[in-house]
């Protein structure tokens, strides 16, 4: 159903429960864009809280790790950058390396 897709989308965007998603969407005639804007406009930044999914983070890590080691090596890093459509020479790659605490 169209409403099920809207509920799933607003839950994904905001992290609210199914019931809260339905209430929010009903208030804005199931317009996901308007409901999402309203949600974030109404929430103080300190109240918008996201819980990272350790399952998703683990799967992402596993996608780029080397088979022999439990770390992301050169090949995994290159694959990661390719997936992000970044070239090694781009300045943002240095920022990523710094944030990921990559060895020199």
Give the separation between CA 37 and CA 33, rounded to whole angstroms: 6
pLDDT single digits (tens) 20-74: 999 999 999 999 999 988 898 886 654 545 666 788 888 888 888 877 778 888 8
103 — pLDDT class (breaks 50, 70, 90): confident
Report if pTM > 0.75. no
Q: Which residues contact 48 (CB under 8 A, 6 or more apart)?
A: 40
Q: Decide if 28 contacts 38 (C-beta within 8 A).
A: yes
Question: What pLDDT score does 28 carry?
Answer: 92
């Amino acid at each position: 159903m169209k409403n099920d897709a809207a509920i799933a989308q607003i839950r994904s965007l905001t992290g609210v429960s199914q019931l809260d998603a339905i209430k929010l969407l009903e208030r804005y005639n199931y317009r996901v864009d308007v409901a999402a804007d309203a949600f974030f406009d109404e929430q103080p930044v300190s109240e918008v809280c996201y819980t990272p999914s350790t399952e998703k983070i683990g799967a992402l890590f596993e996608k780029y790790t080397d088979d022999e080691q439990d770390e992301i090596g050169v090949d995994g890093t290159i694959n990661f950058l390719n997936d992000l459509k970044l070239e090694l020479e781009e300045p943002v790659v240095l920022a990523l390396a710094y944030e990921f605490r990559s060895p020199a």
